[in-house]
Amino acid sequence: MRKGITYPHREGTCSRQAHADFPQQAIYEREAGRSGFFGPASHFHHQHPPTNWREWQGDFKPRAFNLNHIEASQQVSPWHVLPVLHNQQCKIRVWKLNQSMPSLARNADGDELLFIHQGSAELYCDYGHLSVVMGDYVLIPRSTNWRLEPNEAMFILMIECTDSGFGLPEKGIVGQHAVFDPAVLDVPKIDDAFKAQYSESTTQVSVKRHDQINTITYPFNPLDAIGWHGDLSVVRLNWRDIRPLMSHRYHLPPSAHTTFVGDGFVVCTFVPRPMESDPGALKVPFYHNNDDYDEVLFYHEGDFFSRDNIEAGMMTFHPAGLTHGPHPKAFANGQKQTKKHTDEVAVMIDTRHALTFSPAAQSVELPDYVYSWRESED
């Protein structure tokens, strides 16, 4: 891996420490960084908010989508749902399902990560039966046969790791049990519910390969395993089992909240935590240019402390190379230390290569989002 050139230097009036104890005449810090918070970085101290632009021309801009209103996602097969955002390594779909899948699904293009935003269901797969509920991540390895039987209407965020697989992040000096202990991961069971679905009835499997759908018909239900052993399986993780890294004196970067890693992108989870208590520490996400990664945020529940007028089920998209950060009200509240805890839950996807957004996403876009950082002139 190419190593960045590093030469720490101080120029003009600046703080001794990133994200803390800013100069009195410049309370706005902006980080310009490489390699998704892991590479070289510099921290600027500005006299004005770096997102307080007056006008914006061109399509290369921050965007927000209200996925509650997306219509094209009402399908019984996940492969009939078009991506909202995608590149060659990652596809992000929104799937709304209110009835049992009539056939099995199999993704031969890559691993699939489901985040259950709303609803609950019974999942049946090659490995057995698993009940899934709101707030669950469900990681489905490539080429696994599976289907869902909803107990109620479902809203699912789907993240495909195309031509690769998901893994867990390296946790370094904090150890393997930090953030979440792998022991909390649940796997399917070959239980009575799974055995009850054994069948000699004709069953179809809808297989996606190179984004083309192939149908395989069996004279029986291929979910007929009587047992298995190994270290590859569907696994479930609920966000409530995540115990976030924290510092009372320093606002940790988003990378500290990494949950899953794929080739060319990461999936992070923001969950409730205490706010920084040190008087000089930044209390909200810092303004930053993530100059190598596109950033996507899906808002699951709670009070999204860095954003104004954002509700659950919405998604924001900040392309690499643009400055973004907290909205004015959120920044002001952070200065006043009005909150002691965050109560938001959100899923972030950072991709190394540029994402393309679909016509379905454009149909639910909030066109004025690019101006949502503009401060009032009153």
Report, as residue numbers or ranges, the catalytic residues: 251
Provide the 10 A C-beta neighbour count for residue 48: 9
Q: Identify residue 371 by its one-letter amino acid code.
A: Y
Element containing residue 196 per DSSP (H, E)? helix 192-196
Here the tokens at position 340 are: 């002691």
Give Cα 72 to chain centroid, integer Å. Answer: 21
> Which of 144, 121, 152, 119 has its CA nearest to residue 313?
119
Residues 6+ apart with CB under 8 A from 196: none
Give the torsion through C-alpha atoms of 281, 52, 300, 73, to 10 deg: -160
Tell me phi and psi for residue 359, to 5 degrees.
-60, -35
Q: In this structure, are residues 86 and 359 in contact, taking their beta carbons and an 8 Å threshold?
A: no
Apex CA 248: angle with CA 47 and CA 175, to 5°? Answer: 120
Residue 368 counted as an annotated binding residue: no
Here the tokens at position 329 are: 């009200």
Q: In this structure, are residues 237 and 180 in contact, taking their beta carbons and an 8 Å threshold?
A: yes
Residue 324 counted as an annotated binding residue: yes
3-class SS at 184? helix
Q: Identify residue 134 by its one-letter amino acid code.
A: M
Residue 257 counted as an annotated binding residue: no
Helices (H) and strands (E) in the chain, counts: 3, 25
Residues 6+ apart with CB under 8 A from 40: 4, 5, 6, 33, 34
DSSP 50-83: TT--S---SS-S-EEEEGGG--TTB-SSGGGSPP
Binding-site residue ranges for Fe cation: 288, 294, 324
Binding-site residue ranges: 288, 294, 324
Binding-site residue ranges for homogentisate: 324
